[in-house]
Amino acid sequence: MITQTSISYYGLNYVEHAEADFKEMKAHGVTQVILAVTEFDFDFWRPNIPAIVDKAHELGLRVLIDPWGNGKYFGGEQVSKFLQDNVENRQVSALTGEKLPYACFNTNSYRDYFKNFCVTLARECKPDGFFWDEPHYAFPKGIASITGGVADDWTCYCPVCRKRFEEYYGYPMPKYMTNDVKLFRWREALVVLSDTSKALKEIDPNLEITCCVHATQNGYYVSEYRGYDNWDMVGACPYFDVFSTTIVNWALPEDFYLDITRRTVAIAKKYGKKSERWLMGYYKQPKDFSQVAHWVDLAAKEGVDRLAAWTYRGGYGTVVGAPDALKLWDTIGENYRRVIAKV
């Protein structure tokens, strides 16, 4: 049964404007706001963030803080202050040695920065939890050949990662992605999120952590190797409460959506977590809007606990707005109201 219906929300500045938006969300059957807090918001709009969280609570909405695009390590379109302020501690290409515009989340510099960002917001804002939004290594992705090996380059080959690899395995880090490199990347990728999640629960044990990973096939032939594609390792993390997988484009086959949904529920159940599936509420819309109700019903039938959509008003007014953004938002709202009424 679907027990939470979420919408993401960014551009937060003024409490009284957020209040009007929160009321609109309530009218759209939303129970939970995924509050996208950027590094700029944290740096500049800090005084208003706790007041915005309080206002959402006052109106009966749960609030999860999303460190949206932080370090460009998480998904998202906004810019990163960490990258602006640090020329080092970036992910490095294994094959070319180039520094890339992605923070290396295996460096202590970024790990400290990220943890401070989250624990400060937890203390000041009293949210209901945090949302880890598409964390990833820069490369590779989209390995789509059944013969494998399309994306040869990978990250991270920075000095910190190389040193840690050599200390652990006793030989220099290879430039080819071997099994040791794969395991190293999976293990290190979980450290930053585990440590911060643990620190958050030490502040308040009721803070709920959702880890949302890319919806990938992860089959025998095809895997993305973005660091969180080993769903068993992610699901087994004791500090995560909700296992969530990202948006599938409406134009993709229903079988693909069903496969992702079933595997999401299976991993969540296996590790005693709640499951969450995302709907595409921006950028693209279904050819036939009745597909929204159909996919919502499929998720409910497969045992998904929570639904979420990116983003408020279908991305209206942004470069990633759906063609009929407000109609998409209203359609998602109708379906949220329909499923949440059964709780």
Residues at the site binding Zn ion, with contacts judged by CB under 5 A:
104, 106, 156, 158, 161
Q: Closest distance between Zn ion and the C-beta of residue 156, in Å?
A: 3
Quote the least distance from Cβ 95 to Zn ion, whole Å: 15
Whether the Cβ atoms of residue 23 and residue 55 lie closer than 8 Å to each other: no
Shortest distance in whole angstroms from residue 112 CB to Zn ion: 15
Calculated CA dihedral for residues 165, 169, 173, 176, nearest 10 degrees? -120
Closer residue to Zn ion, CB minimum distance, 90 or 214: 90
Residues forming a β-bridge with 309: 7, 279
Counting beta carbons within 10 angstroms of the beta carbon of residue 335, is it exposed (0 to 12), middle (13 to 18) or buried (19 or more)?
A: buried
Given the complex with Zn ion, which of 55 and 90 has the nearer CB atom? 90
Nearest residue (CB) to Zn ion, 163 versus 270 = 163
Residue among 34 and 104 whose Cβ is closer to Zn ion? 104
Closer residue to Zn ion, CB minimum distance, 161 or 242? 161
Nearest distance from residue 132's CB to Zn ion, in Å?
19
Residue ranges of alpha helices (H) inside the chain are 15-27, 39-44, 48-58, 81-85, 108-125, 159-169, 179-203, 231-235, 254-270, 290-301, 325-340
Please tell me whether residue 54 adopts helix, strand or coil conformation: helix
CA angle 72, 235, 162 (to 5 degrees): 50
Q: Work out how close the CB of 20 gets to Zn ion at its nearest, in angstroms, rounded to a whole number.
A: 43
